Amino acid sequence: MIRKGGAAVFGRWSLDLNNSRREEVLRQNIDTGKVPRHVAIIMDGNGRWAVEKGLPRQEGHRQGVETVRDTVRCANDIGIGILTMFAFSTENWQRPTWEVNYLMSLPQKYFESELPELISKNVQVRLIGDAARLPRKVRKTVEDGSKATRHNTGMILNFALNYGSRSEIMRAVNKLLDDAATGKIKGQVDEKTFSDYLDTAELPDPDLLIRTSGEKRISNFLLWQLAYSELWFTNVYWPDFSTVHLLEAVHDYQMRKRRFGKL
């Protein structure tokens, strides 16, 4: 018998039991009055997870979709209002064609398995990023998925698809120039006006950014919106990210906020 942290560990079963105890304790310790309103996640490490297990990279992405499902459920349970997930960056087109093709099949797989639950839980799916440059079929899939949940009033699940923050800012600037040229806006522009030209128009900025798999970078994600966000990093690869990690991140966020409150 191995003793770890005071608890007996008898193989898998006990590890799972310890994990569910830990989850239970974490859930009880979440301050329901101070849950971050908007959480953004960079879901990194799917390929590395698979390669290190001797599996094909797709297997990491496939498992990653299951982690998305668990994360959405938990976020909804604890009362997170907006969950923004970085699914595909403008740079990801440079990956091998077969991998891009596989990734592009995931939104359809996701909606086939998750849409009924999203609807029953009143979750509204939205998209940020340059949808105009997605393959027609993928664009239709994601537009249909967001249309099917358009009138939902619960958690906003925001997928960043073909998203890059500098590209988003340039699209905003160009829309702004168009509106200035046609006289729709006049004179100088303030921060609020500018932010309403971004894809996240009307949404509050993220309170918390989570990035998995050990990289400590923003990687062209929500550059404007993350100005004051708390950052939380974990070495865990996205397919191994669990509700326990989400609860840990939220708990850590709540401790930081409380310390700031006392200053």
Q: Which residues bind ligand V0D (CB under 6 A)?
A: 43, 46, 61, 64-65, 68, 87-88, 103-104, 106-107, 110, 125, 127, 142, 145, 159, 161, 238
Identified catalytic residue from 18, 77, 92, 179: 92
Identity of the residue, 61 or 245, whose beta carbon is nearer to ligand V0D in the bound complex: 61
Q: Which of 177, 175, 176, 158 is nearest to 221 (CA)?
A: 158
In angstroms, what is the minimal distance from the CB of 74 to ligand V0D?
A: 15
Q: Where are the beta strands (DSSP E) in the chain?
A: 2-4, 7-9, 38-42, 82-89, 124-128, 156-163, 208-211, 230-233
In angstroms, what is the minimal distance from the CB of 150 to ligand V0D?
A: 13
Identity of the residue, 41 or 208, whose beta carbon is nearer to ligand V0D in the bound complex: 41
Identity of the residue, 36 or 64, whose beta carbon is nearer to ligand V0D in the bound complex: 64
Identified catalytic residue from 44, 76, 158, 207: 44
Alpha helices by DSSP H, 79-221: 97-104, 106-120, 136-148, 165-181, 191-195
End-to-end CA distance of the chain: 46
92 part of the active site: yes
44 part of the active site: yes
Identity of the residue, 197 or 238, whose beta carbon is nearer to ligand V0D in the bound complex: 238
Q: Which of 94, 51, 70 is nearest to 246 (CA)?
A: 70
In angstroms, what is the minimal distance from the CB of 62 to ligand V0D?
A: 8
In angstroms, what is the minimal distance from the CB of 64 to ligand V0D?
A: 3
Count of alpha carbons within 13 angstroms of residue 27, beta-carbon side: 14
Task: Write 18-25 long-range contacts (CB < 8 A, 24+).
Answer: 19/242, 19/244, 22/244, 23/243, 23/244, 23/247
User: What residues are annotated to the active site?
Assistant: 44, 92
